[in-house]
Amino acid sequence: MSAFVTKTILVALSLLLVASDYNSNATKVRVKNNLDEGKTLTLSCTYNAANNTKSAPVDGVLQSNQIKEFSFNSIATPSIDCTFKWKDTSHLFPIYVDYRDNPYCLTECTWSIKPDRPCRVDPNYSEIIYYCDTWIK
């Protein structure tokens, strides 16, 4: 076997190992209720898979400052759409969109849900805001 073929095979095997390790790591999403004190946040999120199928929803009811956490494979899931409800208010927002959140959310993505907007925050220090967006509706 020539040196070129051997090197090509080793490079291909290395790439496969890196890709398999990358695919095995799930991305973690955290959603924190940062509404006004005492407001309960209800959320329902649906994974939109790469093959255009939708998953069963991830649901949660969060009291003030509570966090809902779930994981997904960002390779197979280009987006996750969520509905957020409190009192007489309802908003839609894509909590994960590949083109917006990759590479920022490769391992985890933490969102602070506020009355006026959702903000992606530092997972360790939720007062540090990285990015805020507007509600879809």
* Domain range summary for the chain, segments of one domain joined by +: 26-132
pLDDT higher than threshold 60 for residue 24: no
Q: Report CA 89 to chain centroid distance, whole Å.
A: 23
Residue 1 has a pLDDT of 63
Say which CATH architecture domain 26-132 belongs to.
Sandwich (2.60)
Residue 84 has a pLDDT of 97
Averaged pLDDT for residues 27-51: 90
Residue 9 CB: number of other CB atoms within 10 A?
11
What pTM, to 2 d.p., does this model score?
A: 0.76
Backbone torsion region of residue 87, taken as left when φ is above 0, otherwise alpha when ψ lies between -120 and 50, otherwise beta: left
